[in-house]
């Protein structure tokens, strides 16, 4: 039997028109790692039935599909992650100068995501971002998004045997889910009995797939798997770099913007990282084995900065609970050929306050301000955070 190296994997993503209608993903993103798992929450059946053994069967619990996707944060790919987290409010610009996308903390798009595992793909649908972590690893910006999904299709089994010539439909077993075909769409290719079959319809009954007449033979309970796509990449972008990142800190957002505008006014930082949380609720719903919807709860965020200690100003701001606004601008490669526009990620945090400001002392080490900020809603700006991304991706892709 063949074996498969994970290096041949990747993910493909596309925003859905609504939370429940899957779509074939068309944007391919190189992957650092992923840990998305389907958890049917199997538990031993502890009913009393005359046994001296714990149980003779497992029963399904409430299903969860969740996990992490980790990528280098290149200007195009990170747009999809922010679009899963927040609402894109506008796109302006053009191909020559670059497109400017603005993301505010509203409801992000639901996505279909294909994760390639060897010869088959796992199609997650109704995927939303639960939280995103931005960090830097050896100068490169890394994004890790924790996602939740409403459902998935990867492999199922035949309920009814296929007997040879002129087959036009497949009926799937319902042991995993009463609607095992959810997540598949016309145009997908499934493999059954060693034959690739292009779907022409996905029946509303949730278990029948239609296709043009074909000769295929397979027994009941044989596997039916989603065929992995061949990846196609646009010109691969470099990730954003720590070296292109300026952190502006000021009394308000205007002062923070000014500070972030140049290296001379920005605050030199040793490390910068942030986490934005949607705190999604898996809404249980009758008719669904897992979540029926992924609902927003209150959003929040934290910002961690480590910088060389110079004076006790930050200690004072911590203990006196003083507001600080932070604007982080990361500039990437140029877009316009005259170098007047560049890829750029701007995270504007209107109000933060220090949860902790540690200045640990270690022999032989410079003293650092190790700071953890809570991102807060700013009543005077009537805003909390705005993410602005300039890249080469046309607005219709998000």
Partner 1 sequence: MKYKNITNKDLHIPNVGIVKAGEEKEMPKGFNNANFKLVKAEKKEEVITNNK
- Kindly list the residues in this chain that would bind partner 1 in the complex (CB under 8 A): 24-26, 187, 189, 196, 227-236
Q: How far is the CB of 57 from partner 1 (least distance, A)?
A: 39
Q: How far is the CB of 156 from partner 1 (least distance, A)?
A: 19
Of the pair 130, 397, the CB lying nearest partner 1 is at: 397
Measure the CA–CA gap between 125 and 117, rounded to whole angstroms.
16
Q: How far is the CB of 392 from partner 1 (least distance, A)?
A: 9
CB 170 within 8 A of CB 158: yes
Q: CA neighbours within 13 Å on the CB side: how many for 189? A: 11
Q: How far is the CB of 189 from partner 1 (least distance, A)?
A: 6
Q: Which residues are registered as beta bridge partners of 375?
A: 352
Residue 27, phi then psi, degrees to nearest 5: -105, 120
Q: How far is the CB of 394 from partner 1 (least distance, A)?
A: 8
Of the pair 52, 232, the CB lying nearest partner 1 is at: 232
Q: How far is the CB of 7 from partner 1 (least distance, A)?
A: 11
Residues 27-65 as b/e (b if ≥16 CB within 10 A, e otherwise) read bbbebeebebebebeeeeeeeeeeeeeeeeeeeeeebbb
CB 152 within 8 A of CB 122: yes
Query: Residue 189's closest CA among 161, 158, 228, 155?
Result: 228
Measure the CA–CA gap between 107 and 112, rounded to whole angstroms.
16
Q: How far is the CB of 228 from partner 1 (least distance, A)?
A: 7
Strands 11-15 and 37-39: unpaired
Of the pair 24, 281, the CB lying nearest partner 1 is at: 24
Measure the CA–CA gap between 215 and 209, rounded to whole angstroms.
15
33: helix, coil or strand? strand
CB 118 within 8 A of CB 12: no
Residues in Cβ contact with 51 at an 8 Å cutoff, skipping those fewer than 6 apart: none
Measure the CA–CA gap between 391 and 398, rounded to whole angstroms.
12
Q: How far is the CB of 283 from partner 1 (least distance, A)?
A: 30
In terms of Cβ atoms closer than 10 Å to its own Cβ (0-12, 13-18, 19+), residue 138 is exposed
Of the pair 98, 105, the CB lying nearest partner 1 is at: 98
CA distances in angstroms from 325 to 112, 216, 270, 304, 328, listed in the order given = 35, 64, 19, 14, 10
CB 22 within 8 A of CB 127: no
CB 206 within 8 A of CB 182: yes
């Amino acid at each position: 039997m063949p074996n498969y190296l994970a290096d041949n994997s990747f993910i493909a993503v596309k925003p859905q028109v609504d939370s429940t209608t899957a779509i074939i993903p068309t944007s391919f993103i190189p992957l650092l790692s992923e840990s998305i798992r389907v958890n049917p929450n199997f538990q031993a059946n502890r009913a009393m039935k005359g046994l001296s053994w714990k149980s003779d069967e497992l029963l399904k619990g409430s299903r969860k599909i969740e996990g992490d996707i980790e990528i280098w944060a290149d200007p195009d790919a990170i747009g999809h992650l922010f679009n899963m987290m927040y609402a894109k409010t506008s796109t302006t610009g053009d191909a020559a100068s670059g497109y400017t996308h603005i993301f505010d903390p509203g409801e992000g798009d639901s996505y279909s995501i294909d994760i390639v595992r060897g010869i088959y793909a796992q199609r997650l649908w109704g995927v939303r971002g639960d939280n995103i972590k931005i960090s830097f690893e050896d100068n490169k910006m890394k994004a890790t998004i924790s996602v939740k999904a409403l459902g998935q299709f990867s492999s199922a089994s035949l309920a009814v045997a296929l007997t040879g010539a002129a087959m036009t439909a497949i009926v799937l077993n319902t042991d995993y889910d009463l609607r095992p075909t959810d997540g598949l769409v016309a145009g997908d290719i499934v493999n059954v009995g060693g034959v690739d079959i292009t779907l022409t319809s996905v029946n509303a009954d949730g278990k029948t797939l239609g296709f043009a007449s074909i000769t295929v033979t397979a027994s009941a309970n044989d596997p039916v798997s989603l065929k992995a796509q061949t990846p196609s990449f646009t010109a691969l972008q470099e990730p954003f770099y720590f070296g292109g990142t300026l952190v502006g800190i000021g009394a308000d957002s205007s002062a923070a913007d000014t500070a972030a505008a140049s290296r001379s006014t920005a605050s030199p930082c040793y490390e910068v990282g942030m986490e934005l949380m949607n705190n999604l609720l898996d809404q249980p719903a009758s008719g669904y084995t897992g979540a029926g919807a992924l609902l927003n709860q209150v959003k929040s965020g934290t910002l961690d900065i480590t910088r060389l200690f110079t004076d006790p100003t930050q200690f004072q701001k911590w203990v006196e609970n003083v507001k600080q606004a932070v604007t982080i601008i990361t500039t990437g490669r140029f877009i316009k050929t005259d170098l007047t526009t560049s890829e750029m990620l701007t995270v504007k945090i209107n109000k933060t306050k220090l949860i902790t400001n540690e200045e640990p002392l270690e022999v032989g080490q410079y003293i650092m301000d190790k700071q953890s900020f809570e991102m807060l809603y700013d009543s005077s700006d009537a805003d909390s955070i705005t993410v602005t991304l300039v890249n080469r991706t046309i607005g219709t892709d998000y």
